[in-house]
């Protein structure tokens, strides 16, 4: 079986990808930023290496010693609301570091298949909806701009050097492993604690904000399918359906026998003024070429996250 290199292995996508690959018998190496510890959620059999994300020669040495067949870059610098924080670091880590990865591949072994976790934030304030691979990019944040730099570098590397490099233009995707700073996880965790007897309400910003939300393991599967093709290309990965934060709250709270209107309170501090056009993806290329389709709809995803938060809280309570 092949050796696969993954950055961002401590995040939700990285952990799901590592599990899927290990189940098939592949050797998986998590590439950690120098000085970072291995993730708390360990996948059996995964090994780890370090790279500071700035030294091309050091990465070339790693590629020569590890000899990976594929390289997934899932690492990104941001939080759910942090797409504007520290523009220099965002540009360096989410943009320029990807160019270094591509340079190392070209200099070491151009047959390594590369997949970049790109972002719908590249569309920014889109001219059209739904967005597809040919929709003009109009990033509105340093995060989106850095992702677009990486996306452009991937296309240039593919066309100039013949590298097998793909960009997965991922729309919002969630799971029980989503970080606690993201609104979907905040809602699921709030439902769990209120269900357990907590009386503290949940403060939220714009309940009318709408997103194209999918299930993270489905999106990881799409990236794997991209690298299994005969020809490298870029793909939008999305459900094609928009749902509001209010809808997420309604489904989440009702799943636990609660009415969100009793528990969700307006919080001006969390209000993000977002006058952009709708970010909703057209995944026709992924359906037609990859045979990819989501396995969970919106309501199933929300219920899954709530059930996981309730179970996690109950486990913590039983240990205390």
Report the catalytic residues.
119, 121, 143
Token output for 200: 């503290």
CA 179 to CA 171: how far, in whole Å?
16
Residue 126 in contact with residue 279, Cβ under 8 Å? yes
- Quick count: other Cβ atoms within 10 Å of Cβ 69? 16
Using alpha carbons only, give the angle 182, 183, 185 rounded to the nearest 5 degrees: 70
- Distance of CA 102 to CAs 33, 61, 118, 149, 155, Å? 17, 14, 15, 13, 11
**From CA 302, how far away is CA 176, in angstroms rounded?**
9
Determine the Cα–Cα distance for residues 243 and 25; give it in Å rounded to an integer: 37
Q: Which residues pair with 33 in a beta bridge?
A: 51
């Amino acid at each position: 079986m092949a050796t696969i290199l993954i950055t961002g292995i401590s995040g939700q996508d990285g952990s799901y990808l590592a599990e899927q690959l290990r189940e098939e018998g592949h050797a998986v190496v998590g590439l950690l930023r120098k000085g970072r510890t291995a993730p708390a959620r360990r996948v059996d059999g995964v090994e780890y290496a370090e790279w500071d994300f700035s030294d091309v020669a050091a990465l070339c040495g790693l590629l020569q010693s590890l000899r990976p067949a594929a390289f997934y870059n899932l690492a990104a610098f941001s939080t759910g609301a942090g797409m504007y924080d520290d523009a220099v670091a965002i540009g360096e880590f989410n943009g320029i570091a990807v160019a270094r990865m591509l340079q190392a591949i070209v200099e070491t072994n151009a047959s390594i298949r590369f997949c970049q976790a790109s972002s719908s934030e590249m569309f920014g304030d889109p001219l059209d909806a739904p967005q597809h691979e040919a929709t003009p990019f109009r990033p509105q944040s340093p995060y989106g701009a850095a992702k677009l730099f990486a996306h452009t570098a991937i296309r240039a590397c593919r066309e100039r050097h013949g590298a097998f490099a793909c960009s997965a233009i991922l729309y919002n995707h969630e799971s029980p492993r989503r970080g606690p700073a993201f609104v979907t996880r905040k809602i699921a965790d709030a439902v769990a604690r209120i269900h357990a007897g907590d009386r503290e309400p949940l403060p939220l910003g714009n309940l009318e904000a709408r997103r194209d939300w999918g299930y993270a393991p489905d999106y990881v599967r799409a990236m794997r399918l991209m690298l299994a093709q005969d020809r490298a290309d870029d793909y939008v990965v999305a459900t094609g359906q928009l749902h509001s934060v209010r809808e997420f709250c309604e489904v989440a709270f009702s799943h636990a026998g609660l009415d969100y209107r009793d528990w969700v309170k307006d919080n001006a501090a969390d209000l993000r003024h977002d006058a952009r056009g709708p970010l909703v993806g057209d995944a026709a290329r992924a359906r037609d070429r990859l045979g990819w389709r989501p396995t969970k709809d919106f309501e199933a995803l929300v219920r899954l996250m709530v059930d996981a938060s309730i179970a996690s809280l109950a486990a913590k309570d039983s240990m205390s």
